[in-house]
Chain A
Amino acid sequence: MSNLITLKPRISANQGIPSIPIRTTLDNSTTVQYAGLLHQLTVKAKSTVRDIDPQNDLTFLRIRSKKHEIMVAPDKEYLLIVIQNPCE
């Protein structure tokens, strides 16, 4: 089982700027790719949850794919992304 962790801040003032990774155990290009794509997905998930129930908010996002599982812990300023190879 290999865990790969990246950490990035989210600049909430301007939605146009993609997330900038701070710390990562992956290579640069993959990290930048994951950061941009998952940031957009997190924003969409958060707005979905808020639309359904305005009192509610997104706490955790998990995406399971054939090859691994991606977990995103969102926050006001930061985003923590963990990619895990599940063992079956």
Chain B
Amino acid sequence: MATSAQPGLLGLAGSAGGEALATNGTASAEGPERPGPLQDETLGVVSVPSQWRGVQGIRGETKSCQTASIATAEASVQARKHVDAEVQTEVPEPVSLPSVPRYNGPRLAAFLRKVEAMVTRELNKNWQSHAFDGFEVNWAEQQQTVTCLHTLSYPPAQEQGLHVTGVSWNTTGSVVACAYGRLDDGDWSTLKSFVCTWNLDRRGLNPQQPSAVVEVPSAVMCLAFHPTQPSHMAGGLYSGEVLVWDAGRPEDPLLWRTGLTDDTHTDPVYQVVWLPEPRHSRRFQLLSVAADGKVLLWQGVGAGRLQLSAGFALAVQQLPRNTKLKKPSRGETEVGATAVAFSSFDPSLFVLGTEGGFPLKCSLAAEEAAVTRMPSSLPLRAPAQFTFAPHGGPVYSVSCSPFHRNLFLSAGTDGHVHLYSMLQAQPLTSLQLSHKYLFAVRWSPVRPLVFAAASGAGDVQLFDLQKSSQRPTVSVKQTEDESPVYCLEFNCQQTQLLAAGDAKGTVKVWQLSSEFTEQGARETERLDQLASEVAS
């Protein structure tokens, strides 16, 4: 039966065509004999010609256009005079102190004799003076309390129930970026997630609308801005990959990626850190730390790929035995690393936080080969040099003091923050901040005795060791329903700002009171005192 519909039968054509489709090529046209559900059948070709196109004819008209003629004119130009001049730079003379004093002589001696008595008198007076005791001058307007400046969120991510897993400030201090993911998922997920940036200096900032959004195929676990490029950021994914994006290119933000090779991590990447390259101090390489116990250094090579340039692996048998640790269950040889912090005084020294709860002192220059079964293109080394006394649970965050070369903090799931010195295994002090987990701890970049901690009870606690060593000085509630705060970062350029991200998918930028942003007199000495007073 022919299946072409006549152009005139607009009303019936549809149903006629439908009947034709129901029959198959081999059966007769009467009755819709359908074959059984699991048998093969072949259908003839069906074509449904257009019904309306035949009605409209084609109309054509001829049109032409012509540009108006272009007017041209000729003129000539000639330079009349010229002057020759030469320019030559001179080698600049370096400014240096004369090594041999040129003005030595009797006049200098006479001056010194004349002035010495007066200066010595003033120095002695100062030494004994109480004139300025308790005298403090405040130049800036005093902010009395900690206030929330901005509440930033990205509604599509919040609708998916994503948590903020990492925040980072860029090198100019004007852009804050946050990474979305989930921290309580136990299984492998193909959840799409986002990395959003907000430019806080821009006028008309809409807190629900980030300046740039990057879509990522897997949950992002950590984020770090490049130390000198204001728009480059690196993130570690749940799948073990490390990616670098350029937030300034919205159409194709992905710059570098590690891909999924033998070298990449097999577990979620918990932290990424930018390090200066050993030979070129202007270029940077990426260090990533993951739960599979590997600490890997990546360098960008052509075509957007990150290549492994050095690697370390932690193994239980190779941990230094200076602290008694729990015996690991049989078969476990890897020690998962959950956090990393580099010392500001020694660029090759770093502290790793582990799932076993004990921080490790490690060095990039370690030579010993690692005992590991994981395949890798480069030989992996064992970095650990010293083991510290463990927390009651995994360590989620470590932070090295920017003012003292030996002090660092670690925070774990037992709700305690431990202050360690690199020189001894037992912590100097242990503070219980919360009954729930602690997810992040950071030293303040301006005040040597202040640090901030993010707790699972939904508040950000600011601790001033000068005022009280037992209770937090300020505790601000970030979430109303006590959902945890997962990450926080101080802004190094605008030191009164602190960004914290929580499980509701919002990032709050807190403005700290003046007491947290101005260094008092003698704080560095107090810190030294603290470090040495409890040393065994």
Contact = CB atoms under 8 A, between A and B. Distances in A.
Interface string B13-40: 0000000000000000000000000000
Nearest to A5: B119
Contact of B95 (A3, A32, A67, A80): A32
A31 B97 contact: yes
A23 B97 CA distance: 9
A84 B521 CA distance: 14
B83 interface: no
Interface in B106-161: 107-108, 111-112, 114-115, 118-119, 122-123, 126-127, 129, 132-133
Please report whether the interface of chain B is mostly helix, strand, loop or mixed according to DSSP.
loop
B87 to A, nearest CB: 25
Contact of A23 (B101, B119, B129, B520): B101
A66 B122 CA distance: 18
A59 B96 CA distance: 30
Interface string A53-79: 000000110101011010101010110
B320 to A, nearest CB: 38
Contacts of A9: 103
B123 A80 contact: no
Given A64-B132, A77-B107, A82 B119 contact: yes
Interface in A17-70: 20-24, 28, 31-32, 59-60, 62, 64, 66-67, 69
Interface residues of A, number: 30
Contacts of B129: 86
B53 interface: no
B123 A73 contact: no
A18 to B, nearest CB: 10
Interface centre among B98, B107, B111, B114 (most CB of A within 10 A): B111
B373 interface: no
Nearest to A75: B111
B522 interface: yes
A80 B127 contact: no
B132 to A, nearest CB: 6
Nearest to B108: A78
A31 to B, nearest CB: 7
A1 interface: yes
Contact of B133 (A73, A80, A88): A88
A73 B95 contact: no
**Interchain residue pairs A-B with the least CB separation, the first 5:** A73-B115, A78-B111, A22-B101, A9-B103, A66-B521
30 contacts: A1-B127, A7-B108, A20-B97, A20-B98, A22-B98, A22-B101, A22-B102, A22-B103, A22-B104, A22-B108, A23-B101, A24-B97, A32-B97, A60-B122, A64-B132, A66-B520, A66-B521, A71-B119, A73-B115, A73-B119, A75-B115, A77-B111, A80-B115, A82-B119, A82-B123, A84-B123, A86-B129, A86-B132, A87-B127, A88-B132
